[in-house]
């Protein structure tokens, strides 16, 4: 527990994680509170307090009061640093967003390039062409065979046509010789 001004400042400096800047701000808040107490003491007693009375006032402060000074100093420092660095923070944030977007666009561009290259490569086009040609040939052959089978087996108008077209026409008959007396 601090009992004089020097010990108060050392208390703020020794706090774990405290930077010297925060220690100075905490000490300034403490000095402001001490100034207010000295002013009030002077109004009530019509004299300034002795150094012993000041030390007694310091010693009577609870540790929670010193923690309030430190916490307030941290908040003040944080707000001041954020306000001071706001332009840099926004610039860094914008640059981060821009970098992330650029990286995503580049990734998508590479992916699209790979897809287009694979789809338009000679090797792929050749394979697709061969497969399409073979498939068309097989389908056409099956259609021709099916048509031939229908033409051969079906008693439909196609079969009638088959009979007319498929049978040789009878030879034109020569006039038959007259039977009977000829003069």
- Mean per-residue pLDDT pooled into runs of 10, the chain (183 residues): 83 78 89 93 93 90 88 86 84 90 91 82 76 90 84 63 57 63 60
pLDDT value for 9: 85
Q: pTM for this one?
A: 0.47
Inter-axis angle of helices 5-14 and 63-120, nearest 10: 20
Q: Count CB atoms within 10 A of the CB of residue 8.
A: 20
Round to whole Å and give the CA distance between 145 and 151: 10
pLDDT digits (tens, 9 = 90+) for 6-49: 888 888 888 767 788 888 888 899 999 999 999 999 999 999 99
């Amino acid at each position: 527990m601090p009992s004089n001004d020097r010990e108060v400042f050392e208390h703020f400096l020794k706090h774990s994680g405290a930077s010297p800047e925060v220690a100075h701000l905490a000490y300034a808040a403490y000095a402001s509170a001490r100034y207010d107490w000295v002013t009030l003491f002077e109004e009530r007693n019509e004299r300034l307090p002795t150094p012993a009375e000041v030390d007694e006032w310091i010693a009577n402060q609870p540790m929670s009061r010193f923690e309030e000074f430190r916490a307030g100093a941290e908040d003040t420092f944080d707000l001041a640093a954020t306000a001071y660095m706001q332009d840099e923070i926004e610039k860094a944030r914008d640059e981060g967003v821009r970098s992330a977007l650029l990286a995503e666009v580049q990734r998508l561009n590479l992916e699209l390039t790979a897809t287009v290259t694979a789809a338009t490569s000679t090797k792929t086009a050749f394979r697709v062409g061969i497969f399409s040609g073979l498939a068309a040939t097989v389908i056409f052959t099956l259609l021709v065979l099916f048509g031939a089978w229908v033409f051969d087996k079906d008693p439909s108008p196609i079969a009638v046509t088959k009979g007319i077209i498929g049978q040789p026409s009878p030879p034109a008959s020569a006039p038959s010789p007259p039977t009977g007396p000829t003069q």
